[in-house]
Structure 1
Amino acid sequence: MEKIRIPHYVATCLGVFVMGASACAHAQLGTTGAAAAGTQGDVVHQAQGGLVQYHETTDANGIVVREYVDSSGTVYAVSWRGPAMPDVQSLLGGYFETFRQGANASAGDAGLHTSRVASGDLVVENRMRLREFTGRAWLVSALPPGVTSTDIQ
Protein backbone atom coordinates (compact mmCIF):
# COMPACT_ATOMS: atom_id res chain seq x y z
CA MET A 1 0.00 0.00 0.00
CA GLU A 2 1.43 3.37 -1.03
CA LYS A 3 1.41 6.16 1.52
CA ILE A 4 0.11 9.55 0.48
CA ARG A 5 2.37 12.31 1.72
CA ILE A 6 0.60 15.48 2.76
CA PRO A 7 2.77 18.59 3.14
CA HIS A 8 3.22 19.72 6.75
CA TYR A 9 1.44 23.07 6.21
CA VAL A 10 -1.64 21.28 4.79
CA ALA A 11 -1.75 18.81 7.67
CA THR A 12 -1.41 21.69 10.13
CA CYS A 13 -4.23 23.59 8.43
CA LEU A 14 -6.52 20.55 8.53
CA GLY A 15 -5.63 20.03 12.17
CA VAL A 16 -6.65 23.58 12.96
CA PHE A 17 -9.89 23.05 11.02
CA VAL A 18 -10.69 19.89 12.98
CA MET A 19 -9.69 21.14 16.40
CA GLY A 20 -10.83 24.70 15.99
CA ALA A 21 -9.31 27.63 17.79
CA SER A 22 -12.47 29.21 19.10
CA ALA A 23 -15.04 28.03 21.58
CA CYS A 24 -17.66 30.59 20.60
CA ALA A 25 -21.02 28.95 19.91
CA HIS A 26 -22.59 29.52 16.51
CA ALA A 27 -25.49 28.10 14.58
CA GLN A 28 -24.51 25.43 12.11
CA LEU A 29 -24.74 25.65 8.36
CA GLY A 30 -28.20 24.55 7.24
CA THR A 31 -29.84 25.05 10.67
CA THR A 32 -31.77 27.89 12.25
CA GLY A 33 -29.31 30.64 13.17
CA ALA A 34 -28.76 32.33 16.51
CA ALA A 35 -30.07 35.60 15.07
CA ALA A 36 -33.37 33.98 14.15
CA ALA A 37 -33.65 32.44 17.60
CA GLY A 38 -33.80 35.97 19.03
CA THR A 39 -31.03 35.57 21.59
CA GLN A 40 -30.69 38.62 23.80
CA GLY A 41 -28.32 41.20 22.31
CA ASP A 42 -28.38 39.73 18.81
CA VAL A 43 -28.26 42.19 15.94
CA VAL A 44 -29.19 41.21 12.42
CA HIS A 45 -27.22 43.25 9.90
CA GLN A 46 -28.62 43.90 6.45
CA ALA A 47 -26.89 44.61 3.16
CA GLN A 48 -28.06 45.09 -0.42
CA GLY A 49 -31.29 46.76 0.71
CA GLY A 50 -32.18 43.92 3.07
CA LEU A 51 -31.53 41.16 0.53
CA VAL A 52 -28.56 39.85 2.55
CA GLN A 53 -29.00 39.37 6.29
CA TYR A 54 -26.33 38.18 8.70
CA HIS A 55 -25.58 37.90 12.38
CA GLU A 56 -22.02 38.82 13.38
CA THR A 57 -20.16 37.83 16.55
CA THR A 58 -16.63 38.41 17.78
CA ASP A 59 -15.19 35.98 20.31
CA ALA A 60 -12.56 36.56 23.01
CA ASN A 61 -9.81 35.62 20.52
CA GLY A 62 -10.86 38.36 18.09
CA ILE A 63 -12.38 35.94 15.56
CA VAL A 64 -15.32 37.50 13.72
CA VAL A 65 -17.95 35.05 12.44
CA ARG A 66 -20.93 35.94 10.28
CA GLU A 67 -23.95 33.67 9.92
CA TYR A 68 -25.91 34.51 6.78
CA VAL A 69 -29.59 33.75 7.25
CA ASP A 70 -32.51 33.57 4.86
CA SER A 71 -35.98 34.98 5.60
CA SER A 72 -36.88 31.91 7.68
CA GLY A 73 -33.71 32.20 9.78
CA THR A 74 -31.88 29.23 8.25
CA VAL A 75 -28.09 29.66 7.96
CA TYR A 76 -27.14 29.28 4.29
CA ALA A 77 -23.58 30.59 4.64
CA VAL A 78 -20.91 31.47 7.19
CA SER A 79 -17.74 33.52 6.97
CA TRP A 80 -14.87 34.17 9.36
CA ARG A 81 -11.81 36.33 9.81
CA GLY A 82 -9.33 36.73 12.60
CA PRO A 83 -5.96 35.79 14.08
CA ALA A 84 -6.91 32.11 14.34
CA MET A 85 -9.37 29.63 12.87
CA PRO A 86 -12.85 29.34 14.38
CA ASP A 87 -14.25 25.93 15.25
CA VAL A 88 -15.04 25.04 11.63
CA GLN A 89 -16.50 21.68 12.65
CA SER A 90 -19.07 23.52 14.75
CA LEU A 91 -19.82 26.02 11.98
CA LEU A 92 -20.30 23.36 9.29
CA GLY A 93 -22.20 20.92 11.50
CA GLY A 94 -23.51 18.01 9.43
CA TYR A 95 -21.53 19.24 6.41
CA PHE A 96 -18.17 18.96 8.16
CA GLU A 97 -17.56 15.36 7.06
CA THR A 98 -18.17 16.36 3.42
CA PHE A 99 -15.68 19.18 3.86
CA ARG A 100 -13.12 16.93 5.55
CA GLN A 101 -13.31 14.32 2.79
CA GLY A 102 -13.01 17.01 0.11
CA ALA A 103 -10.04 18.61 1.88
CA ASN A 104 -8.28 15.25 2.16
CA ALA A 105 -8.92 14.49 -1.51
CA SER A 106 -7.51 17.84 -2.64
CA ALA A 107 -4.64 18.07 -0.13
CA GLY A 108 -1.99 17.69 -2.84
CA ASP A 109 -3.66 20.43 -4.91
CA ALA A 110 -3.89 22.95 -2.08
CA GLY A 111 -2.01 26.19 -2.44
CA LEU A 112 0.36 27.43 0.19
CA HIS A 113 -2.06 30.05 1.52
CA THR A 114 -5.45 29.16 0.06
CA SER A 115 -7.72 26.18 -0.25
CA ARG A 116 -11.10 25.52 -1.82
CA VAL A 117 -13.39 22.54 -1.42
CA ALA A 118 -16.47 22.24 -3.63
CA SER A 119 -18.35 19.01 -3.04
CA GLY A 120 -21.98 18.66 -4.05
CA ASP A 121 -23.93 21.55 -2.54
CA LEU A 122 -21.11 22.65 -0.20
CA VAL A 123 -18.37 25.17 -1.02
CA VAL A 124 -15.67 26.09 1.52
CA GLU A 125 -12.89 28.58 0.84
CA ASN A 126 -10.08 29.38 3.22
CA ARG A 127 -7.11 31.74 3.16
CA MET A 128 -4.25 32.11 5.60
CA ARG A 129 -1.79 34.95 5.54
CA LEU A 130 0.45 36.35 8.26
CA ARG A 131 -1.74 35.39 11.23
CA GLU A 132 -4.87 36.40 9.39
CA PHE A 133 -7.34 33.61 8.71
CA THR A 134 -10.31 34.28 6.46
CA GLY A 135 -12.83 31.92 5.00
CA ARG A 136 -16.37 31.31 3.98
CA ALA A 137 -18.68 28.39 3.40
CA TRP A 138 -22.07 28.21 1.73
CA LEU A 139 -24.72 25.87 0.42
CA VAL A 140 -25.17 26.59 -3.29
CA SER A 141 -28.82 25.51 -3.45
CA ALA A 142 -29.74 27.48 -0.33
CA LEU A 143 -28.62 30.92 -1.56
CA PRO A 144 -31.72 33.14 -1.49
CA PRO A 145 -32.96 34.60 -4.80
CA GLY A 146 -30.74 37.52 -5.82
CA VAL A 147 -27.87 36.52 -3.49
CA THR A 148 -24.59 35.23 -4.95
CA SER A 149 -21.43 33.86 -3.41
CA THR A 150 -19.78 37.27 -3.80
CA ASP A 151 -22.24 38.63 -1.22
CA ILE A 152 -20.69 36.33 1.42
CA GLN A 153 -17.83 38.29 2.94
Structure 2
Amino acid sequence: MGGARVCAAFFALIFAFAATDDAVAGLGQPGASIARDRARMAATTQTARTIAGGVEHRMTLANGTLVKEIENVAGAVVAVAWRGPGRPDLRQLLGAQYFATFQEAANTGHGRIRMRRAPRVHRNGIVIQTGGHPAAFWGIAYLPGQLPAGFDPNAF
Protein backbone atom coordinates (compact mmCIF):
# COMPACT_ATOMS: atom_id res chain seq x y z
CA MET A 1 0.00 0.00 0.00
CA GLY A 2 2.93 2.38 0.71
CA GLY A 3 4.19 1.88 -2.84
CA ALA A 4 0.87 3.04 -4.26
CA ARG A 5 1.10 6.25 -2.22
CA VAL A 6 4.65 6.89 -3.40
CA CYS A 7 3.58 6.29 -6.99
CA ALA A 8 0.59 8.63 -6.61
CA ALA A 9 2.81 11.31 -5.07
CA PHE A 10 5.31 10.91 -7.90
CA PHE A 11 2.62 11.42 -10.56
CA ALA A 12 1.19 14.38 -8.66
CA LEU A 13 4.64 15.95 -8.61
CA ILE A 14 5.10 15.40 -12.35
CA PHE A 15 1.67 16.94 -13.01
CA ALA A 16 2.52 19.95 -10.83
CA PHE A 17 5.74 20.62 -12.76
CA ALA A 18 3.94 20.23 -16.09
CA ALA A 19 1.19 22.61 -14.99
CA THR A 20 3.74 25.16 -13.80
CA ASP A 21 5.58 25.10 -17.11
CA ASP A 22 2.32 25.60 -19.01
CA ALA A 23 1.55 28.62 -16.88
CA VAL A 24 4.52 30.43 -18.39
CA ALA A 25 3.61 31.83 -21.77
CA GLY A 26 6.07 33.36 -24.15
CA LEU A 27 7.57 33.07 -27.57
CA GLY A 28 6.40 30.17 -29.67
CA GLN A 29 3.31 29.63 -27.51
CA PRO A 30 -0.28 29.88 -28.79
CA GLY A 31 -1.78 33.36 -28.97
CA ALA A 32 -4.12 32.42 -26.13
CA SER A 33 -1.09 32.72 -23.83
CA ILE A 34 -1.17 36.51 -24.28
CA ALA A 35 -4.09 36.72 -21.85
CA ARG A 36 -1.95 34.87 -19.28
CA ASP A 37 0.86 37.35 -19.87
CA ARG A 38 -1.51 40.25 -19.26
CA ALA A 39 -2.85 38.70 -16.06
CA ARG A 40 0.55 37.67 -14.65
CA MET A 41 2.12 41.04 -15.38
CA ALA A 42 -0.95 42.93 -14.10
CA ALA A 43 -1.31 44.98 -17.29
CA THR A 44 -3.65 47.93 -16.91
CA THR A 45 -4.72 48.14 -20.55
CA GLN A 46 -4.62 45.88 -23.58
CA THR A 47 -5.37 46.51 -27.23
CA ALA A 48 -5.03 44.44 -30.38
CA ARG A 49 -4.81 45.47 -34.02
CA THR A 50 -4.48 43.52 -37.20
CA ILE A 51 -1.19 43.89 -39.04
CA ALA A 52 0.03 42.30 -42.26
CA GLY A 53 0.35 38.60 -41.50
CA GLY A 54 -0.85 38.66 -37.91
CA VAL A 55 -2.05 40.58 -34.88
CA GLU A 56 -0.17 43.06 -32.70
CA HIS A 57 -1.18 42.95 -29.04
CA ARG A 58 -0.22 45.90 -26.81
CA MET A 59 -0.42 46.07 -23.07
CA THR A 60 0.62 48.72 -20.58
CA LEU A 61 2.01 47.53 -17.28
CA ALA A 62 1.29 49.25 -13.98
CA ASN A 63 4.74 50.90 -14.04
CA GLY A 64 4.06 52.44 -17.49
CA THR A 65 6.09 49.97 -19.55
CA LEU A 66 4.57 49.20 -22.94
CA VAL A 67 4.73 45.54 -24.03
CA LYS A 68 3.93 44.38 -27.57
CA GLU A 69 3.41 40.80 -28.67
CA ILE A 70 3.08 39.71 -32.30
CA GLU A 71 0.94 36.70 -33.14
CA ASN A 72 1.38 35.24 -36.63
CA VAL A 73 -1.43 33.80 -38.80
CA ALA A 74 -0.64 30.33 -37.44
CA GLY A 75 -1.66 31.64 -34.00
CA ALA A 76 1.79 31.59 -32.36
CA VAL A 77 3.51 34.41 -30.47
CA VAL A 78 6.58 35.11 -32.61
CA ALA A 79 7.85 38.46 -31.31
CA VAL A 80 7.75 40.50 -28.11
CA ALA A 81 9.06 43.99 -27.42
CA TRP A 82 9.05 46.33 -24.46
CA ARG A 83 9.90 49.96 -23.75
CA GLY A 84 9.48 51.93 -20.58
CA PRO A 85 10.63 52.74 -17.09
CA GLY A 86 10.87 49.12 -15.95
CA ARG A 87 11.63 45.71 -17.35
CA PRO A 88 8.71 43.33 -17.73
CA ASP A 89 8.85 39.76 -16.44
CA LEU A 90 11.17 38.37 -19.11
CA ARG A 91 10.67 34.81 -17.94
CA GLN A 92 6.98 35.27 -18.68
CA LEU A 93 7.50 36.97 -22.05
CA LEU A 94 10.28 34.74 -23.35
CA GLY A 95 9.01 31.47 -21.92
CA ALA A 96 11.18 29.01 -20.02
CA GLN A 97 13.19 27.77 -23.00
CA TYR A 98 14.18 31.16 -24.42
CA PHE A 99 14.62 32.73 -21.00
CA ALA A 100 17.25 30.09 -20.23
CA THR A 101 19.05 31.02 -23.46
CA PHE A 102 18.86 34.70 -22.48
CA GLN A 103 20.26 33.99 -19.00
CA GLU A 104 23.10 31.97 -20.47
CA ALA A 105 24.06 34.90 -22.71
CA ALA A 106 23.79 37.33 -19.79
CA ASN A 107 26.14 35.18 -17.71
CA THR A 108 28.88 34.95 -20.32
CA GLY A 109 31.68 37.47 -20.52
CA HIS A 110 34.13 38.57 -17.91
CA GLY A 111 34.17 41.24 -15.25
CA ARG A 112 33.28 44.82 -16.11
CA ILE A 113 32.67 44.14 -19.81
CA ARG A 114 29.74 41.89 -18.96
CA MET A 115 28.26 44.49 -16.62
CA ARG A 116 28.40 47.28 -19.21
CA ARG A 117 26.81 45.43 -22.11
CA ALA A 118 23.27 44.25 -22.35
CA PRO A 119 23.03 40.64 -23.47
CA ARG A 120 22.33 40.05 -27.14
CA VAL A 121 21.35 36.63 -28.37
CA HIS A 122 21.45 35.49 -32.00
CA ARG A 123 21.21 31.70 -31.95
CA ASN A 124 19.02 28.63 -31.88
CA GLY A 125 16.24 30.30 -33.89
CA ILE A 126 15.92 33.25 -31.49
CA VAL A 127 17.09 36.87 -31.50
CA ILE A 128 17.02 38.84 -28.26
CA GLN A 129 18.27 42.42 -27.88
CA THR A 130 17.95 44.51 -24.73
CA GLY A 131 19.25 47.81 -23.50
CA GLY A 132 18.58 50.96 -21.61
CA HIS A 133 19.18 52.31 -18.16
CA PRO A 134 17.02 52.89 -15.08
CA ALA A 135 13.71 54.49 -16.12
CA ALA A 136 14.32 53.81 -19.83
CA PHE A 137 14.54 50.10 -20.67
CA TRP A 138 13.84 48.51 -24.04
CA GLY A 139 14.09 45.12 -25.66
CA ILE A 140 12.92 42.89 -28.44
CA ALA A 141 12.88 39.13 -28.88
CA TYR A 142 11.70 37.28 -31.97
CA LEU A 143 11.75 34.00 -33.82
CA PRO A 144 13.17 34.93 -37.25
CA GLY A 145 11.84 31.93 -39.14
CA GLN A 146 8.26 32.47 -37.96
CA LEU A 147 7.74 36.21 -38.43
CA PRO A 148 4.88 37.37 -40.67
CA ALA A 149 5.94 38.14 -44.24
CA GLY A 150 7.16 41.72 -44.50
CA PHE A 151 7.44 42.17 -40.73
CA ASP A 152 10.46 44.30 -39.83
CA PRO A 153 11.60 43.68 -36.24
CA ASN A 154 13.79 46.80 -36.41
CA ALA A 155 10.66 48.94 -36.83
CA PHE A 156 8.87 47.17 -34.02
TM class by shorter chain equals: 0.5 to 0.7
Provide the aligned C-alpha RMSD in A: 2.9
Structure 1 residues 93-117: Cα deviation after superposition (integer angstroms, max 9, x where no partner): 1211111112222466558364412
Q: In structure 2, what is the equivalent of residue 104 of structure 1?
A: 107
Q: In structure 2, what is the equivalent of residue 81 of structure 1?
A: 83
The answer to whether the aligner puts 1:33 opposite 2:31 as a matched pair is: yes
Conserved 8 A contact 1:81-1:133? yes
Q: How does 1:117-136 map to 2 (within 5 A)?
A: 117-136=121-140
Give the structure, 1 or 2, with the largest relative contact order (CA under 8 Å, sep 6 or more): 1
Provide TM-score, normalisation by structure 1.
0.67
Provide TM-score, normalisation by structure 2.
0.66
| 1: CA distance, partners of 2:32 / 2:47 | 10
Find the residue that maps to 2:98 and give its secondary structure: helix
Residue identity (%): 35
| 2: CA distance, partners of 1:89 / 1:107 | 24
Structure 1 residues 98-141: Cα deviation after superposition (integer angstroms, max 9, x where no partner): 11112222466558364412122111111113510010000111
Tell me the matched-pair count: 124
Unaligned stretches of 5+ residues in structure 2:
1-22, 39-44
Select the structure of larger CA radius of gyration.
2
| 2: CA distance, partners of 1:144 / 1:125 | 19
Q: In structure 2, what is the equivalent of residue 55 of structure 1?
A: 57
| 2: CA distance, partners of 1:51 / 1:107 | 41
